[in-house]
Amino acid sequence: MTNGWVDIKNADVILAMGGNPAENHPVGFKWFIEAKKVRGAKLVVVDPRFTRTAAVADFYAPLRPGTDIAFLLGLIRYALNNGRYQEDYVRIHTNGPFIIKNEYSFNDGLFSGWDPNTKQYVKDSWGYQADPKSTAYGVDPTMQNPRCVLQLLKQHVDRYTPEMVERICGTPKDKFLKVAEIVTSTHPANRVGTITYALGWTQHSTAVQIIRTAAMLQLLLGNVGMPGGGVDAFRGHSNIQGATDTAGNTEILPGYLKTPQGQFQTLADYYKNAIPMTLNQQAWPSMNYWVNYPKFMVSLLKSVYGNAATKDNDWGYGWLPKIDANYSWMYIFDDMYRGSSMRVGGKETGPEGFITFGMNPVGLGPNSKKMIAALSKLKWMVVVENAETETATFWKAPKEYGGAASSQIQTEVFMLPAANFAEKDGTFTNSARWLQWKWKALDPPGQAKMDQEILSRLFLAVQNLYRKEGGAVPEAVLNVTWAYANPVNPDLAEVLKEMSGKALGDIKDPKDPTKVLKTAGQQLDGFGQLQDDGSTLCGNWLHSGVYTEAGNNAQRRSTADPTGLGMFHNWAFSWPANRRIMYNRASADANGQPWDPTRVGIRWDGAKWVGDVPDMKPDAPPGTYGAFIMLPEGVGRLFAPALNDGPFPEHYEAVEAPIANPLHPKVTSNPTALIFKSDQDSFGTVDKFPYVCTTYRLTEHFHYWTKHQAGGVLNELMPGFFVEIPEPLARQKGIANGSKVKVSSARGAIEGTAMVTNRMPTLKIDGKDIWHIGFPIHWGYAAEKGHTGPLANFLTPSVGDPNTWTPEYKAFLVNLEKA
């Protein structure tokens, strides 16, 4: 989320799309209702289903799963053609005025630079045109130049007429126009709207571009950085934000630093690739905050390797594992299944050992049959869990999931009992980036242990083995520090201190070198004090400041909210730097005065920025730097050169789609989409699988956990799996409500109880009646007795977005029959 949960109350218009916040984030949804009741805000829901959110919306419009980009580009076209965008904002806070290289083009569904052999883009042509006379970016403040971003955008979206939106999305034209009118009503400076989304956008083969389209719309409407504005991703798990912040994923190190690749053999090489280059620019220069990258990186390496990290050995950079290819989720299981990785210069082995801490990949991953087949090939597996999951018991999966006989499976499986949330302390980071401390309430049951203890024991045991026996590059193992007061079971407050950062030597005030800001051993105040000379240690620069000399800021509990905007600066700690609204510099105009005096993000008081913690150098007067300090051009990107599938979003059909793309039938789906092609991967076509299918969650269950609760209320509230079917389709097929139906895809078939409803609309797509059905995840073969059910992901394909490699769960093809 760029903004916060409570901040949603400041919105005048809320577009909920690609998510069902009432269902999945009911308590966050409180602030939607607050906006409606107190401000009279309008809530607009655009969704394939008439959801619980739609039930209380001011306006609902249906669309076909997987066509969000077409809808959003239609909104952008409407805004641009009707002058319903905030021109001043676009001029100063976005790259709208920037001139793009002449080589950039878009034809028949492909952008310039397409290489049909690698199926990837060469992105050279997607850049800014440097001014020939200077090294600065070419900029046209009038935004009339036909090669400026705004004009190119206008040209790009011109195809997305309301008629085309109706043809692609199935949204009736009048409903689309009504949505457009409400959403773009926030274009005046004193009106603000937010767009909220969740996995309904991220789980598509065009996911990143969908979200980008929303961000572009918000930039055009002048809503980014504003209280009540922004683009708000509602993350699904208590610490999923924290997992990404602290390097849960293969491509990043803590704090979104990049995982080094083999081609960068020294830190210097690595920095060259990691730190974005900036050109000078007319209006104002960019702060390009990533120039501080070496400070973050060296402090991180000091926290990993301690005293072993010295200037001479590049702070231990050489020991860090380097990647040369993609090692993310679907690759893990693809390589595990195939037993090798064929994508790296030469053949390497695939995983033979697998550790999962509190994760259930058999339930979570696409194409469950392939997941089970992959796990069956492992030598060993460790599952650390609260309950016996599908993953832990994959070796006794029911036959229909393709599992081999357990005698045939040679995997040694360890299932270790872990504490749950109430049985351990530590911080969770919520969707609004707040790190909040929770206290331990009781001991884990039986022999269950806290996960930090389980991990520490394993870590120390492995280190011991290497110390005693040596092995492959033992120093990479032995030099990692674990110097906690109790290394077997580290105190998490101590770990948080390490993450927040401390001085290893004296830190001097850059403005007055005679002044010592911090002496060795003291906690740092924030990432501004980090050094690249080894005199600071910090496990995650983004978290810097969470644990200062003043104490554990994640434990703060002041409910004071002097602005009345719901920022709560003294409640817990929000990364970065306790900032509550990202890009808040954009909430003020060129002179630093707020666009809307009733909703002040920050304002320039003549000497400093006041309000929220400024997303800006606190004493840099307006005009010094652009509002988007992390981007090299310093402004919000309507044109984004960095992504893998195009600088502008474009509607592509899902990989399994019921129609060819009406815009360019030859390039129907995302040409760069990640598609796996093992013998376990198969894809369906519309003749055999005529219905679009989408999956989702329910408010009554949490993922694959709550079905395990013996005697639990949640199993009472929602006892079992169902399939939502449009009433006309059910009638045609003779399916009665409550009867059993079979849903099949190219991957397999599942059975469930039919829920026949008018909440699933019939849509006219490209002249045809197209139906979509849907069902919730949550069930599986491991559950409390009486509450088992089919694995939803048995039907989903191994297909993903080319930028995030997230699977396409939200739109695929199925057939439906009476069971």
Partner 1 sequence: MELSRRNFLKATTVGGAIALGFDLSKARAEIREFKISRTTETRSICPYCAVSCGVIIHTLGDRSKNAVASVVHVEGDPDHPISRGSLCPKGITLKDDITHKNRLTMPKVRRPGSDHWDDITWDDAVARIARHIKTTRDKSFVARNAKGQVVNRNPGMAMIGGCTDTNEFNFLQWKAITAWGVPYRDSQARV
Partner 2 sequence: MTVQALEIKRSSAAMWGTKTGLREKPVVSKYIDTTTCIGCKACEAACQEWNDLKTVATHQEGSYQTLPHLDADFWNLIRFNEREVDGGLMWLMRKDQCMHCAEPGCLEACPAPGAIVQYANGIVDVDPSKCIGCGYCSTGCPFDVPKFHKTTGKMAKCTLCVDRVEVGLEPACIKACPTGCLQFGSKEQMVAMGNARVSQLKGAGFQDAMLYDPQGVGGTSVVTVLGHGHPEWYDLPRDPHVPLLVRAWKSILRPLGVLAAFAAVIGVFGHYATYGPKEPPEGDGVGEGRTK
* Contacts of partner 1 in 766-795 (CB under 8 A): 784
Among 54, 76, 267, 492, binds partner 1 (CB under 8 A): 492
Question: Does residue 600 interact with partner 1 by CB under 8 A?
Answer: no
Of 71, 81, 110, 77, nearest to 210 by C-alpha is 71
Nearest to 616 by CA among 605, 607, 626: 626
Q: Are 148 and 98 in contact (CB under 8 A)?
A: yes
Rounded to an integer, what distance in angstroms lies between the CA atom of residue 572 and that of residue 558? 8
**14 versus 90: smaller Cβ distance to partner 2:** 14
Closer residue to partner 1 in complex, CB, 380/736: 380
Three-state secondary structure call for residue 723: strand
Under rule CB under 8 A, residue 648 binds partner 1: no
- Piece in contact with partner 1 (CB under 8 A), picked from 86-94, 114-122, 327-335, 636-644: 327-335
Pick what 146 binds: partner 2, partner 1, none; C-beta below 5 to 8 Å, kind-dependent. Answer: none
Q: Is 810 in the site for partner 1 (CB under 8 A)?
A: no
421 binds, among partner 2, partner 1, none (CB under 5 to 8 A by kind): partner 1
Residue 805 engages partner 1 in binding (rule: CB under 8 A): yes
Per-residue b/e over 564-577, b at no fewer than 16 CB within 10 Å? ebbbbbebbbbbbb
Task: Enter the tokens of residue 170.
Answer: 């199935």
For the bound state, the minimum distance from the C-beta of residue 569 to partner 1, rounded and expressed in Å, comes to: 11
Q: Does 56 contact partner 2 by CB under 8 A?
A: yes
If binding is defined by CB under 8 A, does position 716 make contact with partner 2? yes
Segment contacting partner 2 by CB under 8 A, of 28-36, 549-557, 603-611, 803-811: 28-36
How far apart are the C-alpha atoms of 694 and 63, rounded to whole Å? 12
Residue 331 as a binder of partner 1 (CB under 8 A): the answer is yes
Nearest-approach distance from CB 375 to partner 2, in angstroms? 29
Q: Which of residues 461-480 bind partner 1 (CB under 8 A)?
A: 461-466, 469, 471-473, 476-477, 480
* Contacting partner 1 within 247-276 (CB under 8 A): 247-250, 253-254, 262-263, 265
Tokens found for residue 567:
């920022």
Is 461 near partner 2 (CB under 8 A)?
no
Query: 722: which strand partners?
Result: 753
Residues 280, 99: Cα–Cα separation, whole Å? 14
- Contact between 455 and partner 1 per CB under 8 A: yes
Residue 420 engages partner 1 in binding (rule: CB under 8 A): yes
Longest dimension (CA), the chain: 84
3-state SS assignment for residue 701: coil
Give every CB contact of residue 141 below 8 A, 6+ residues apart in sequence. Answer: 91, 97, 282, 283
What's the rounded Cα separation, in Å, for the pair 504 and 165? 59
Give the phi and the psi of residue 407 in degrees, each rounded to 5: -65, -20
Q: Does 243 bind partner 1 (CB under 8 A)?
A: yes
Instruction: Work out what residue 543 binds among partner 1, partner 2, none; the CB cut-off runs from 5 to 8 Å by kind.
Output: partner 1
Q: Which does 451 bind (CB under 5 to 8 A by kind): partner 2, partner 1, none?
A: partner 1
DSSP helix/strand/coil, 541: helix
Please identify, using beta-carbon distances, which residue of 150 and 179 lies nearer to partner 2.
179
Cα→Cα distances 767→52, 67, 164, 194, 662, Å:
29, 16, 12, 33, 11
Residue 184 half-sphere exposure, CB side, CA atoms within 13 Å?
25
Binders in 503-542 for partner 1, by CB under 8 A: 539-540
Say whether residue 30 binds partner 2 (CB under 8 A).
yes
Q: Which of residues 688-727 bind partner 1 (CB under 8 A)?
A: 699-702, 705-706, 708-714, 717
Of 718-747, which residues contact partner 2 (CB under 8 A)? 718-722, 737-739
Q: Three-state DSSP class for 75?
A: helix
Q: In Å, how far from its chain's centre is CA 479?
A: 32
Of residues 642 and 710, the one with the C-beta less far from partner 2: 710
d(CA 634, CA 96): 12
Q: Which of 68, 166, 498, 681 binds partner 1 (CB under 8 A)?
A: 498
Tokens of residue 135, six digits: 């090294």
| Helix runs in 734-814, H state only | none
Told to check if 386 binds partner 1 by CB under 8 A, we report yes
Tokens of 512: 């007055």
Query: How far, in Å, CA of 595 to CA of 583, rounded?
Result: 14
CA atoms within 13 A on the CB side of 747: 25
| Vertex 349: Cα angle to 348 and 355 (nearest 5) | 135
Of the pair 49, 585, the CB lying nearest partner 2 is at 49
817 binds partner 2 (CB under 8 A): no
Place of tokens 């009433």: 727
The Cα 767–Cα 642 span in angstroms is 36
CB of 88 vs partner 1, minimal distance in Å: 33
Interface residue with partner 1, options 294, 365, 576, 601 (CB under 8 A): 365
Residues in region 7-46 near partner 1 by CB under 8 A? 24-28, 30
Q: Does 318 bind partner 1 (CB under 8 A)?
A: yes
How many residues make contact with partner 2 (CB under 8 A)?
A: 44
Number of residues that bind partner 1 (CB under 8 A): 173
56 touches which of partner 2, partner 1, none (CB within 5 to 8 A by kind)? partner 2
Fill in the per-residue mask, 691 to 710: x = in contact with partner 2 (CB under 8 A), - = not in contact. Answer: --------xx----------
750-769: contacts with partner 2 (CB under 8 A): 753-759
Give the footprint of partner 2 on this chain (CB under 8 A): 22-23, 26-27, 29-30, 32-34, 36-37, 40, 50, 52-56, 58, 60, 699-700, 711-722, 737-739, 753-759
